[in-house]
Chain A
Amino acid sequence: MPELSTPTEGREKREARFRETRLTLHILTRNPLSLASIVIFAFLLFLAAFAPWVAPYPDAYKGVPHVEDKYMPPSPEHIFGTDYLGRDILSLIIFGTRLSLLAGFTIVAIAVAIGWPLGVIAGYVGGKVDDIVMRVTDMFLAFPSLVLALVIAFVLGPSLINSMIAISVAWWPWYTRLARADAASLRERTFVEASKAVGLSDGTIMRRHILPNTMAPIVVQATMDLGTAILAEAGLSFLGLGAQPPTPEWGLMISMGRSVTFSAWWYATFPGIFIFITAMAFNLLGDGLREALDPRLRRIRGG
């Protein structure tokens, strides 16, 4: 691989990138909604990381039943009440944060890891490769993604991991589409032609020029999809295709609470609030990121 940039050029590039990141962060934190979503996200991360110390009843997670305390309404001892095993629902929700954040990030990471490079290759190489990749994505996109995820999760057998894989497999084609459109237009740009003229290989051009330049829309989409992924994961668990009892997964908790909706309203209500807040934080963050990364909007609002 020919090294083209001299050390000083490298430093300038790093500085430019640093300025860029700082500007993005600056615009992002000036938007109160984005700031709020960052705070919520940090709080959720904190809950997930320190669950055993934050949870008022750390052993709730271990599934030790206190059947004599089952279905206790919210009280000072159990703010969110207790479930069918007498476990403290607040503690379960706090442990559930781990599962939901992990699920969200894993799903999106797998989908991006498959979809993004494929889209870049399809858009940059074009021709037959493009045709084949796009036909395959069309096949996947013909299904409503949640239905496809449902079928795959069903085939793989119900478990948390399988439902995560299923959602990723149903999802990657969206990233392929997104990256392909950008890659195809970048291919015609002068700087790509110049890179070719100086003898860079296609692989290097894709890695060094196309991939980074298609990043912004992917990052925005991925952030918003974190929320959707958590919703989808909860949905599959709700249908019995995800985490299995007694795992403290939020969607599963709602599903368990459904059978006692009227006698123990708190069981389904509180986990739902957490799904809602988490999904909303990611959606707001994605929305703010789009504004911060969009050069057109930047000129109007940016500092």
Chain B
Amino acid sequence: MIVIVGISAITFFLARIAPSDPAALWVGIHARAEQIEKARIELGLDKPLYVQYYIYMRDLIGGDWGISYRTRRPVIEDILSYLPASMELAITGQIIAITIGIPLGVIAASRKDTKIDHASRVLAIAALSIPVFWIGILLQIFFSRTLGILPIEGRLDLGVSMSHPIQEITGFYLIDSLLTGNWIAFTDSLKHIILPAIALASYSTGLSLRMTRSTMIEVLREKYLKTARAFGLPENKVRFKYALKNAIVPTLMVLGISFSWSLTGAFLVEVIFNWPGLGTYVWRAILAVDYPVIVGIAIIAAFIILLTNLILDLAQAWIDPRVRL
């Protein structure tokens, strides 16, 4: 709760210290002075600061996040319509990162200080150092231009969206098309999501690899694993089932952090791939100096992170019986 008040306070403060006059932006460049004055009263900018903050909080909780200067639609509506696309991309990227990063981390930890381990370390650091927007462009050049096997940008082919429209249920194209048995749209959206998801996954892959490695090294020293081996359990079962189960909790925590990163990384990747999500929306808002949108994005991002942390706490308690909520 304190966090939510804090978030709103910071965003309110940021919106007010802005050097440009919101009222002037609202009416446009060619407005006369009296029009600006009228807009100021309409927007409540003539009232004292604490009254403004009260109104701001009331509207925020009531779901009124202002109106976009550019699209002239309520910010909250815009955000909610773009959110599923971003979430789909971020989650797909995260899944790729986990399926590569965690097994590699386990392998690196069990072959500690060998060539494989050193290679994995370099790989992880390289993955953490790649600018996502650059790797996105490289993927486009290679897979779309040179090989010509994957689409350059967008979320769905225009032709496919006409002939096999996706019925929106969750807003995730992959899930919606699967639920309605729309195979053509499913394969098409899968083709579209591969490149941006891979670009996005690079950072989180590096992060989960390193984290899994270091926690696994600690866990592998534990005595209960010796017992498991003494009982004659196969080594792979010992490593991937018994050891990983204890090592996965800190990794999950890191994934929480990396998800927040993934979401912002998605902003950059979306711009490259023209993915119709929050990132593209933010980018256009930046170009149009669209205040309410930028502030709204910050709030929604903070909310998503808050929610992610909550879910991870619950997941941790579920996996690890030692943790009590």
Contacts and interface: CB of A to CB of B under 8 A. Distances in A.
Interface of A: 33, 135-136, 138-140, 142-148, 150-152, 154-158, 227, 231, 234-235, 238-241, 251, 254-255, 257-258, 261-262, 265, 268-269, 271-272, 275-276, 279-280, 283-284, 287
A151 B295 contact: yes
A45 to B, nearest CB: 18
Given A142-B3, A234-B131, A251-B131, A147 B141 contact: no
A239 B134 contact: no
Interface stretch (B53-61, B234-242, B245-253, B280-288): B280-288
Nearest to B137: A268
Interface in B219-276: 260-261, 263-265, 267-268, 271-272
B215 to A, nearest CB: 16
Given A152-B14, A272-B137, 18 more contacts: A136-B6, A139-B3, A142-B305, A144-B264, A146-B267, A147-B267, A147-B297, A154-B286, A155-B18, A234-B131, A235-B132, A238-B133, A239-B267, A240-B286, A258-B272, A261-B140, A269-B137, A269-B141
Interface stretch (B28-36, B120-128, B156-164, B171-179): B120-128
Interface of B: 2-3, 6-7, 9-11, 14-15, 17-20, 121-122, 125-126, 128-135, 137-138, 140-141, 145, 260-261, 263-265, 267-268, 271-272, 282-283, 286-287, 294-295, 297-298, 301-302, 305-306
Contacts of A280: 125-126, 129
Given A142-B3, A143-B302, A268-B137, A151 B11 contact: yes
6 contacts: A143-B302, A145-B264, A150-B298, A269-B134, A276-B134, A279-B128
A262 B133 contact: no
B61 to A, nearest CB: 17
A185 to B, nearest CB: 20
A151 B131 contact: no
Chain B contact residues: helix, strand, loop or mixed: helix
B133 A254 contact: yes
Contacts of A152: 14
